[in-house]
Amino acid sequence: MFATIKRYDIIEGNIKSDQKKVMRLKNAMDKIELYAWRAAKLCLLTVLIELPQFAISLPKLLLKYVNGPIVYILTWMIFVGGYVAVTFILFTYLQRRHPERKIIWRPKGKEINTIIIGFIVLMSAKMIIGSFMTQQTANDAAIEKMFKISVNMSFMMVFMTAIAAPVVEELVFRGFLMDYFFTDQPIFAILLSGLIFGSIHSSTNFISWLMYVVMGIILAATYNKEKNLAANISLHFLNNLLPSIVFLLSSLHQMLK
């Protein structure tokens, strides 16, 4: 009788052990499914923030059929309206994920100090890494080429690089990405944000890729510290503003002389 009871205890123990294994396996599969879905959404969001850029090709397509001023007005409306719509979608979606807290507010006090320090660190990192480069990055070269197409294109590029890009890129690569992955492991979240940010910029060699990765890491560290997207957007804006102005003045000088 005791042998039978012992045998039942062993069987019951094996069943419980198997149930635990099944639960662990189910939890692992649920996590894989969750992160796969989040990765897919991140890809879709990355595509979404690229869509307004297609408006810059409208003048070339429409000037053959429509009066010039109307084409440029329509292009700017679609271009700016597209970025406004994308920003609204991203901000609304992200805020709904965290209705208990604000995700953006006007920087003040220590947040302004963080922006200033972040900017100094960012510029220093770019200078150090840039000293190993023999030419500008492929991304900068492509942007500069776009500036030189026309006066209208130059101002569209200033809006895109200095204003729109900092907003939508920070919402996606800091707001969403760091909210989706490694939420309880900030170091890994910062590194992942930097790696993905660096990889989406057109880099043709390791040094230029590393420059954008380091930029992404500094921006991610800023977000991790302040949890205020306005601080990130401000830092990103300062980083993009100076080259945008240089490209604009250089392009206008060549086109208008």
pLDDT for position 5? 53
Report helix, strand or coil for 65: coil
pLDDT for position 1? 52
pLDDT for position 28? 77
DSSP string, 128-195: HHHTT-SS--HHHHHHHHHHTS-HHHHHHHHIIIIIIHHHHHHIIIIIIHHHHS-TT-HHHHHHHHHH
Euclidean distance between CA atoms 69 and 156, whole angstroms: 15
Instruction: Identify whether the C-beta of residue 163 lies closer than 8 Å to the C-beta of residue 86.
Output: no
pLDDT for position 224? 93
Cβ atoms within 10 A of the Cβ of 129, count?
17
Instruction: Identify whether the C-beta of residue 200 lies closer than 8 Å to the C-beta of residue 249.
Output: no
pLDDT for position 4? 56
Report helix, strand or coil for 39: helix
Q: What is the mean pLDDT of each run of 10 residues along the chain (257 residues)?
A: 53 58 74 86 92 88 78 92 95 88 88 95 93 83 86 92 95 91 90 92 85 95 93 95 91 80
Six token digits for residue 158: 């200033």
Instruction: Identify whether the C-beta of residue 22 lies closer than 8 Å to the C-beta of residue 168.
Output: no
Question: What region does 239 belong to: left with phi over 0, alpha with psi -120 to 50, or beta?
Answer: alpha
What helix, strand, coil percent values describe the chain, rounded to 5? 85, 0, 15
Cβ atoms within 10 A of the Cβ of 57, count?
11
Distance of CA 23 to the CA centre of its chain: 36
pLDDT for position 103? 87
Instruction: Identify whether the C-beta of residue 171 lies closer than 8 Å to the C-beta of residue 94.
Output: yes
Longest dimension (CA), the chain: 105
Q: Report in angstroms the alpha-carbon separations of 214 from 14, 51, 102, 127, 228.
A: 51, 26, 27, 12, 20
Q: List, in order, residues 6 or more apart from 230 with CB less than 8 Å away.
A: 104, 105, 106, 107, 111
